[in-house]
Amino acid sequence: MKFLASQEYSNAESAARRFIELYPDEVFGWKIAGAACFYLGRYQEARDFLLKAVAFNSRDPEIFSTLGNALFYQGRIKDALRCFERSLEIDADHSPALNGKGLCLMGLGLDRAEEARKCFERALKFNQSQPEVYCNLGALLSQLGQLDEAVDLQKKSLELNPTYAEAYSNLGHALQDLGRVDDALDALEKATQVNPHSAVIFSNRLYALNYHPDKTAEDIFKSYQEFDRLFGLPHRASWIPHTNDRDPDRRLRIGYVSADFGSHVIGYHLEPLLANHSREQFEITAYTERVGSDGLTARYRRLIDHWVPTKELTDEVMAERIRSDGIDILIDLAGHTSGNRLGVFARRPAPVAVTWMGYGYTTGLSAIDYFLTDAVMTPPGSEHLFAEQIWHVDCPVGTYRPAPDMGEVGPLPALTNGTVTFGTLTRGIRINHRVIRVWSDILQRLPGSRLIVDNKSFVTETAQARLAEQFAAHGIERERLIIGYHSPPWDLLRSTDISLDCFPHNSGTTLVESLYMGVPFITLAARPSVGRSGSTALIAVDHPEWIATTEAEYVDKAIALASDIERLATIRAGLRAEFEASPWRDEAGFTRRVEQAYREMWRRWCATPPKK
């Protein structure tokens, strides 16, 4: 139909509906109406039309492919996969179905990545003029750490469709993981220009901005305020007063919102909290954007009273569900990371809203009341950098449950190697020109010392060579660098004497893992709060002496620590015991601190006169 070909989807829908009225037994009208509704983003209506079309013609691969797309965007990945496979049974070379099947396999986890890749490559074999397939294949390769190939594929997608916002966004994602933050921001700005109404693209831009090595915290926060202006404040007019029982001491309904209720780094911190929550005082609901499950998902489900899948829910429907569930305090665990539901929080579905852990910085939304943190991460005087009110708990604002396979600490490697080995497990986006200069200075002042850089960002030889070239510009020979990717990284930590943190955006859980494995680290206290997670980790184990406040001090502290091998061996021998005795391992204590914060937040709301 010409309206579909010219992307006049509303006209296509209207024409299809008229055709259905005249010829209700003809498949054509149902098929076109379903396709039009899909492109208009009305996936349930698309599904209904297309199921009717299937009833009239079960041998049309295009109907099954479009139905698969509608189901995919509703979060029904396994149902969508069956539709794409049915389409391919009819026509094994149907490119849209191959593309859709690839997306489904991506959504089911990286263990299906090779199958997904074959689907995309097969689709391109039959039709090399499909920008969406290049875009999707590029996104898959980004997940696999093949970043240079991912960049090339996104550029190919944009050659075919220069106004493809998702390709610009995916290009930005790959570039940022290559450490090319300015280039990433340029790509994301173009994505925003093409699609200024996409909160997802704006979130991706904010995410990249957090890592910029040269912008001030104040400049970065201005972009968060713009996010609120565009995607938060417009919803205020439709806020509905909450009718929750204002009893300050009753059992509270707590809702946690996340896409990461499964094998994800937040599990080291979140699972202990959920396991220790007082069921007498709190009723827990998980609003999960995650599709599929694994062993950790199953453990979460046993710790949670109510499990609500949200992938199929629009922001409006999800907000109404939260309101009808009577949630008193709603917790965001995602910030601007993938799968966030900040659009729900903007609609203010619960009396109290909090953001914590998953992002490490403000959401920018004035609709969220509190940013849960500690006074080390967000010291007094940093309030102007947050849209939410800062709520301090005792340091650290988290707990840590070690992975069961981490093993013992082991002896200090320098005693055997005769030289100090530094190390980092951070992603490429954190390793900027300032970090490379400082780390190079350390290596220059300690002849013979080595540096391990290990992360998925450096899985390819191309990425490894590029990083080595950046160090070579500062006179560091390639043989002093051990660059690659290993998972899990426990043996690498056993071969590391001293870890080095990044700045101005610190690393996160890898720093805590380092301490648990007996490896001290040097950190630079930079911008709140993403630049002070290293400081929080060290204060909690009572080692503030490893915190620097300037780059020169960072170098001096690293040199001093590396120059006293006997002292370093003593630290290694005792650091795990110190960690075990620290607040990081006090799961019950941390949970009580968080629960006390929740209760006080609730009491403040109860004491606030209801709005009329």
Average pLDDT over residues 560-569: 97
Using one digit for the tens of pLDDT, what is the confidence trace for 339-376? Answer: 999 999 999 999 999 999 989 999 999 999 999 999 99
Comparing C-alpha atoms, which of 560, 487, 483 is closest to residue 520? Answer: 560
Q: Which residues of 213-238 are buried (b: 16+ CB within 10 A; e: fewer)?
A: bebebeebbebbeebbeebbeebeee
pLDDT value at residue 264: 74
Band (265; pLDDT cuts 50, 70, 90): confident
pLDDT value at residue 8: 81
pLDDT value at residue 612: 61
Q: Encode 362-385 in three state secondary structure.
A: CCCCCCCCEEEECCCCCCCCCHHH
- 44 vs 40: CA distance, rounded Å: 11
Comparing C-alpha atoms, which of 306, 261, 258 is closest to residue 284? Answer: 306
pLDDT value at residue 10: 84
Contact (CB, 8 A) for 472 and 478: yes
Contact (CB, 8 A) for 457 and 501: no
pLDDT value at residue 110: 82
- 309 vs 313: CA distance, rounded Å: 8
Percent of the chain at pLDDT above 70? 99
pLDDT value at residue 3: 60
Contact (CB, 8 A) for 435 and 502: yes
Using one digit for the tens of pLDDT, what is the confidence trace for 462-518? Answer: 999 999 999 999 999 999 999 999 999 999 999 999 999 999 999 999 999 999 999
Max Cα–Cα distance, the chain, nearest Å: 89
pLDDT value at residue 452: 98
- 3 vs 11: CA distance, rounded Å: 6
Average pLDDT over residues 21-32: 91
Using one digit for the tens of pLDDT, what is the confidence trace for 282-298? Answer: 999 999 988 767 778 88
